[in-house]
């Protein structure tokens, strides 16, 4: 199977692109790291592979409607 076929079949089966699925998994993992493990925003960003903390914060907010810092304050 080539890459294009894989991407097409993945999206047909899951209803989401591979890239968006990976980002979703990263956001879920970072949410859990902040909420239950007490990670800082920087630690959570690094844990899921973000080099630029600002990009991580923007992506996190687009998924959850709050920044990871706001989540940290609520825990």
pLDDT per position as a tens digit, 24-63? 999 999 999 999 999 999 999 999 999 999 999 999 999 9
Domain boundaries defined on the chain: 3-74
- How many other C-beta atoms can be found within 10 angstroms of the C-beta atom of residue 34? 23
- Inform me whether the pLDDT recorded for 1 exceeds 90: no
Q: What is the pLDDT of residue 75?
A: 78
Class of CATH domain 3-74 = mainly alpha
Its pTM stands at 0.91
d(CA 13, CA 37): 33
Classify the C-alpha dihedral 25-31-36-41 as positive or negative: positive
Query: Which strand (E) or helix (H) includes residue 46?
Result: helix 41-47
């Amino acid at each position: 199977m080539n890459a294009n076929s894989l991407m097409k079949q993945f999206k047909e089966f899951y209803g989401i692109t591979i890239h968006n699925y990976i980002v979703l998994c990263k956001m879920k993992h970072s949410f859990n790291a902040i909420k239950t493990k007490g990670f800082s925003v920087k630690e959570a960003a690094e844990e899921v592979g973000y080099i630029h903390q600002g990009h991580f914060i923007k992506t996190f907010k687009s998924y959850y409607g709050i920044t990871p810092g706001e989540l940290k304050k609520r825990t």
